[in-house]
């Protein structure tokens, strides 16, 4: 299976569930496919939050726009987990 297809299936899984799925994706960030997903795409795929809200969250947590899930720092990862929990 290609990387693009794997990333697409992860995105579809996130879009089909809820914020809890985002936590699951962050937990799997060490997997090569999941780690290569951009944070912007992950947040934009969530059902009630679109691209605009994703951009606001990224700015609020001081995450670089093109940052990938695997390259998030501890503070950024913690911030996202807290946001998902809220």
Helix (H) or strand (E) holding 78: helix 74-85
pLDDT in tens, the chain (86 residues): 444 555 555 555 554 444 555 666 666 666 667 788 888 988 888 777 778 888 999 999 999 989 998 899 999 989 988 888 87
Q: Which domain holds residue 37?
A: 3-85
Collapsing DSSP to helix, strand or coil, 59 comes out as: helix
Query: Which residues, including other chains, have CB under 8 Å from residue 6's CB and lie 6 or more apart?
Result: 33
CATH number at residue 77: 1.10.8.50
Q: What is the pLDDT of residue 3?
A: 47
Q: How far is CA 60 from CA 6, 7, 32, in A?
A: 29, 25, 27
Q: What is the pLDDT of residue 19?
A: 53
From the list 4, 62, 17, 66, the residue with the least C-alpha distance to 77 is 62
Question: How many domains, in total, are found in the chain?
Answer: 1
């Amino acid at each position: 299976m290609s990387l693009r297809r794997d990333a697409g299936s992860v995105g579809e899984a996130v879009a089909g569930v809820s914020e809890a799925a985002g936590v699951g994706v962050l937990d799997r960030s060490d997997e090569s496919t999941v780690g290569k997903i951009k944070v912007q795409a992950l947040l934009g795929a969530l059902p009630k939050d679109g691209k605009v809200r994703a951009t606001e969250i990224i700015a609020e947590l001081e995450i670089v726009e093109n940052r990938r899930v695997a390259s998030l720092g501890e503070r950024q990862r913690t911030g996202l987990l807290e946001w998902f929990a809220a």
